[in-house]
Structure 1
Amino acid sequence: MKITGAPAPSVPLAPPPEMPAGAAPAAAGPAAAAAPLQSDTLAPAMDALRAMPEIDHARVAELRDALAKGELPFDPARLAGLIERFHGKQR
Structure 2
Amino acid sequence: MTINTKSRGNRMKISGTSSSAITTVTPGAGAVSVPVQTEASAAPAALQSAVLQPAADALSAMPDFDAVRVAELREALARGELPFDAGRLAGLIQKFHSGR
TM bucket normalised to smaller: 0.3 to 0.5
Relative contact order (alpha carbons < 8 A, sep ≥ 6): 1 or 2 greater? 1
User: Normalising by structure 1, what TM-score?
Assistant: 0.42
User: Normalising by structure 2, what TM-score?
Assistant: 0.39
Structure with the bigger percentage of strand: 2
Structure with the bigger percentage of helix: 2
Q: Which is greater in Rg?
A: 2
